């Protein structure tokens, strides 16, 4: 029996806060049905974590799943387990004693909980080196405990990653191939227009178009001209629309509101340490604003 049946897939898509990523979500669910761990990857702010949480919540019938955010300081201690001082206090007797503490993956397997590892590539590969067998054959050997754990039936493991972002580690080919990569990219202009209208129904169409033009152009500058390190995310589009809406309500004119919000988001998408990069987004904002 499959984990996500046709009706489940429809329900997951219909209730997902993230719009316009239906195909990616369907592919992810199909691979989970086949028992493979999946990796949602792509540029920041386009809904990877939200989609992962939504799938996990559905599969776990609520928030009864484990999640962790990977960080640079993570080791096998956090994933599989290791020895932990019994007391960090001044009690000399106790602080010489150690207990074995299970890591989050071990606990998930033992307690039959699904698992989400957010920002997977922010931890070095060494944190995951003991998981290769689990990821490919479904078995985790716990050396110190002389114990072997099996991947539970219908176990769901989803990780998210910003491949190549500042502060992330490059994955080895061996680790990468143990996941099914699902790309969460920029959604369509049509979908983003609907998203804006759902957040700010009263926003003038001309301003909605200006925000969408700004987003589109930043993505082109990133992908084609490589003059920006990334394009504006859907999250950035929503923030611009909401800022414009509230500022206009407070009496600001549409043009100023647009320039302000574009410049705020500009700092996020540009290389903030590079004057030319910042200048590129600012000039783009002024060019689009001149039509307002
Ligand atoms: N396609 C979309 N439809 C609706 N909302 C969206 C969409 N894409 C992004 N958002 C909004 O952006 C917010 C941020 O998304 P989320 O944190 O899941 O992105 P992310 O890809 O995990 O980002 P990061 O790479 O920075 O972790 C969401 O909560 C949602 O409000
Ligand atoms: Mg995220």
Asked which of 138, 155, 183 is the last residue of a domain, the reply is 183
Tell me: do 121 and 194 sit in the same domain.
no
**Residue 171 DSSP class:** P
pLDDT confidence of 21, banded at 50, 70, 90?
A: very high
All residues with CB under 5 Å from ion ligand 2:
48-49
For range 174-202, the mean pLDDT: 96
CB distance 168 to ligand 1 below 6 Å? no
103, part of any domain: yes
244 lines ligand 1 (CB under 6 A): no
Q: What is the pLDDT of residue 30?
A: 97
Q: Is 25 a domain residue? A: yes
pLDDT average, residue stretch 224-253: 96
Distance (angstroms) between ligand 1 centre and the Cα of 287 equals 27
Does the structure show a pLDDT above 80 at 90? no
Phi-psi region of 136 (alpha: psi -120 to 50; beta: other; left: phi over 0): alpha
User: Within this chain, do residues 127 and 94 fall inside the same structural domain, yes or no?
Assistant: yes
Residue 194 is part of which domain span? 189-289
Nearest-angstrom CA–CA distance, 129 and 178: 12
* Final residue belonging to a domain, choices 162, 183, 204: 183
Q: How do residues 210-220 score in pLDDT, each as one tens digit?
A: 999 999 999 99
Residue 34: per-residue pLDDT: 95
Ligand index nearest the alpha carbon of residue 269: 1
Confirm whether 19 is domain-assigned: yes
In tens, the pLDDT along 113-128 reads: 999 999 999 999 999 9
Distance 120 CA to ligand 2 centre (A): 10
Number of domains in the chain: 2
- Residues 36, 142 within the same domain: yes
Pocket test for ligand 1, best of 15, 17, 18, 117 (most atoms within 8 A of CB): 18
Q: Is residue 230 lining ligand 1, measured as CB closer than 6 Å? A: no
Identify the pLDDT of residue 92.
76
Which residues, at least 6 apart from 51, have a Cβ–Cβ distance to it below 8 Å?
Answer: 16, 18, 21, 24, 25, 28, 40, 184
Helix (H, G, I), strand (E, B) or coil at 178: coil
1 within some domain = no
Specify the range with the lowest mean pLDDT, choosing from 76-80, 141-145, 255-259. 141-145
CA atoms within 13 A on the CB side of 254: 15
End-to-end CA distance of the chain: 56
Q: Please give the average per-residue pLDDT across 68-93, as a whole number.
A: 87
pTM of this prediction?
0.94
Mean local confidence (pLDDT), 87-96: 74
């Amino acid at each position: 029996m499959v984990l996500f049946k046709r009706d489940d897939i429809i329900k997951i898509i219909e209730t997902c806060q993230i719009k316009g990523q239906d195909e990616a979500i369907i592919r992810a669910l199909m691979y989970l049905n086949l028992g493979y761990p999946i990796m949602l990857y792509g540029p920041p702010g386009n809904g990877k974590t939200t989609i992962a949480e939504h799938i996990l919540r559905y599969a776990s019938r609520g928030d009864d799943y484990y999640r962790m955010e990977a960080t640079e300081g993570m080791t096998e201690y956090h994933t599989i387990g290791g020895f932990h001082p019994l007391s960090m206090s001044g009690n000399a007797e106790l602080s010489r004693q150690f207990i074995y503490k299970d890591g989050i993956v071990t606990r998930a397997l033992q307690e039959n909980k699904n698992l989400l590892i957010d920002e997977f590539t922010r931890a070095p590969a060494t944190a995951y080196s003991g998981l290769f067998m689990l990821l490919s054959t479904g078995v985790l050997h716990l050396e110190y405990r002389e114990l072997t754990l099996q991947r539970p039936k219908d176990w769901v493991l989803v990780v998210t990653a910003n491949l190549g972002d500042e502060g992330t580690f490059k994955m080895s080919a061996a680790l990468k191939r143990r996941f099914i990569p699902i790309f969460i990219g920029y959604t369509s202009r049509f979908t983003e227009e609907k998203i804006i209208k759902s957040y700010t129904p009263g926003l003038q169409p001309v301003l909605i178009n200006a925000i969408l033009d700004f987003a589109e152009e930043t993505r082109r500058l990133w992908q084609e001209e490589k003059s920006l390190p990334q394009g504006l995310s859907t999250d950035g589009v929503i923030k611009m629309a909401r800022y414009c809406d509230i500022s206009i309500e407070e009496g600001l004119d549409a043009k100023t509101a647009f320039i302000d919000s574009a410049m705020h988001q500009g700092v996020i998408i540009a290389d903030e340490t590079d004057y030319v990069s910042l200048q590129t987004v600012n000039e783009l904002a002024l060019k689009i604003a001149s039509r307002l």
